[in-house]
Chain A
Amino acid sequence: MTSLRIFFVGGRMTYRALFYWLTPQIYVPSLLMAPIFQILLFAYIGRSAGLESDEFYVVGNALQYCAIPCLFAMTQMIGGERYQNTLSAILVSPARRIPLFFGRALPVVANGAFVSAFSLAAGTAILGVDIPLSAVPALVLVIIVAAFSCTGLGLMNAAVSLRVRENAVLSNVIFGFLLIFTGANVPLSELPGWMSTMSQGLPFTHAIKAARELTDGASLGSVADLVGAELLIGLCYAAAGYALLRLMEAQSRRHASLERS
């Protein structure tokens, strides 16, 4: 019962207290308007280069942009505790770590999925992309899985932020790499071999492919393997992120670096 309370109530409170983007003046420009312009930018570069259709860029960038809320918010919600001087109080508490850390991840997944869904809807409407209504429920599922998968990576990033001060810089670099490697803008077949091989182990690659197939009329069953692969990648990152968090927690205690901000 206590674990459930920590998971849901603790996660919600941390989200409200530490995730500054909830302020509409920051949330709307950063998370609702910026992805639309990212979609438009790449759609127009694609038109200039004569590469792929608008649909390709709308789907790719709408899903990939959820990296911003998932990476930054996850880092903010754990690393941010350090800046608020509340990290030590949390880490000396007897609370179980799984509900403590994963409770913080749940609102991040929900928010990331919302940002992606909004971007997809707005990009589709602005560029006149046709997505069959029957594909919408499956697309929602793919978006949630993609947000979960990236939040797993965000958990790893958050763990690193317990030791590294410039976590916003790190999040920006990861965002940039995801933009290149996941096939959001360059078809995987056009990437050098080592890049497309690496992309298979990254969040979004399979989800973007599945979402593109769904918008082309494929059924959920026919992309189940892609969704499963994305989910598995997310689980691997979440497990690795949790392990890294525990390791960094122990390291931070040993080196007395918890309150170093």
Chain B
Amino acid sequence: MRRTLRLLYAGWKFHLKSLTISGFFIIVSVISPVIFASIAYLMFRAGARPGSLLFVAIGAGMMGIWSATLFGSGGAIAWQRWQGTLEYCVAVPPAFIWVILPLTIATSTIGLYSLTSTLIWGWLFFDVPFELVHPAWFFVSLPVAVLALGLLGLVLASTFVMYRQANALSNLLEYPIWLVTGLLPGLTLLPGWTRPSSRALAPTWGVKALREAALGGEPGFAVAMSAVLGLAYLVIGHYCLRYFEKLAREKATLSLQG
């Protein structure tokens, strides 16, 4: 148990550091959310229904957390493959899940830069007030949301193991998840058939918890839903990873590229 925890901590710290020096990740987690937040601030300020700019800032920050998780976790296996380390990761004594999990959690953790940057950007240039109604809940909601997204990242990483063009799938999944999880547009505006998928996705509950903690409401249920979904993703990720790893070993596709 202690060895596993040490492996998780060391892996998380290593990947957090290595992602922090990646120009691509700085774009995805800082510049891109700030760009989208600016567009949303301008749109809501000019629109007939201005709404709360803090609502927008939190949504834009969560967009960045999702993007970092999506590109980081979705591309995690592909990167190991390109670097020629995937076979070693699979062959080492600890189970593959304990090698990949810290990486996926590190990718969602890096997304915290997004929330920080959109809040600071909004405060500096758009007069967005950073006044929290339930500050304690906000700081509980944040790590739970990040962890839940990291575990969702595990599901992505495990399913992308068989798909060598994972980046293309990541490109495709960025906007739809922003849309159906209500990170910027209100969920009530979306067609009814999108609701089940919204409820099954951690960003929906993560952003709901953060918004209710910041703007007022009962964030407890959303935090609990984030935690429950996180556990569900862990179970799904575990089985997917085991299944796809077995398949990739059988087909000898672990080291194949392109």
Contacts and interface: CB of A to CB of B under 8 A. Distances in A.
Given A23-B165, A169-B24, A191-B42, A49 B50 contact: yes
Listed residue (A49, A168, A173) with the most chain B CB atoms within 10 angstroms of its CB: A49
Contacts of B165: 23, 25-26
B104 interface: no
B179 A41 contact: yes
Given A37-B175, A169-B23, A172-B27, A185 B184 contact: no
Interface residues of A, number: 34
B169 interface: yes
Name the prevailing secondary structure of the A interface residues.
helix
B135 interface: no
Interface string A152-184: 000000000000001011001100110110000
A253 interface: no
B179 A49 contact: no
Given A25-B165, A169-B23, A41 B39 contact: no
Listed residue (A33, A37, A185) with the most chain B CB atoms within 10 angstroms of its CB: A37
Contacts of B35: 176-177, 179-180
Interface residues of B, number: 38
B27 A169 contact: yes
Given A45-B184, A50-B49, A169-B24, A185 B43 contact: yes
Nearest to A172: B27
B47 interface: yes
A26 B32 CA distance: 22
Contacts of B178: 41
Given A48-B189, A179-B35, A38 B43 contact: no
A186 interface: yes
A54 to B, nearest CB: 12
Interface in B175-198: 175-176, 178-179, 184-186, 189-190
A37 B190 CA distance: 13
Contact of B186 (A48, A168, A176): A48
B1 interface: no
A46 B184 contact: no
B111 to A, nearest CB: 16
A224 to B, nearest CB: 29
A45 B185 CA distance: 5
B60 to A, nearest CB: 11
B46 A176 contact: no
A30 interface: yes
Contact of A166 (B24, B169, B179, B189): B24
B91 interface: no
B171 A186 contact: no
Nearest to A37: B175
Contacts of A42: 39
Interface in A9-41: 23, 25-26, 29-30, 33-34, 37-38, 40-41
Listed residue (B165, B168, B189) with the most chain A CB atoms within 10 angstroms of its CB: B168
Interface string A46-59: 11111100000000
B108 interface: no
B94 interface: no
Listed residue (A177, A185, A186) with the most chain B CB atoms within 10 angstroms of its CB: A186
B46 A49 contact: yes
A33 B172 contact: yes
Interface string B207-247: 00000000000000000000000000000000000000000
B175 A186 contact: no
Contacts of B168: 25-26, 29-30
A130 interface: no
B51 A48 contact: yes
B44 interface: yes
B24 A49 contact: no
B170 to A, nearest CB: 9
Nearest to A186: B42
A157 to B, nearest CB: 14
B175 A38 contact: yes
Given A40-B179, A180-B38, A45 B43 contact: yes
Pairs of residues from A and B, 8 with the lowest C-beta to C-beta distance, nearest first: A49-B47, A50-B48, A37-B175, A51-B47, A44-B185, A29-B172, A176-B35, A190-B46
21 contacts: A25-B165, A26-B168, A37-B174, A37-B175, A37-B179, A38-B175, A40-B175, A41-B175, A41-B179, A42-B39, A44-B185, A45-B185, A47-B185, A48-B51, A48-B189, A49-B44, A49-B47, A49-B50, A172-B31, A176-B36, A186-B43
Given A172-B31, A190-B42, 14 more contacts: A25-B168, A26-B165, A26-B167, A29-B168, A29-B171, A34-B171, A34-B172, A34-B175, A37-B172, A40-B179, A45-B185, A48-B186, A49-B40, A166-B23
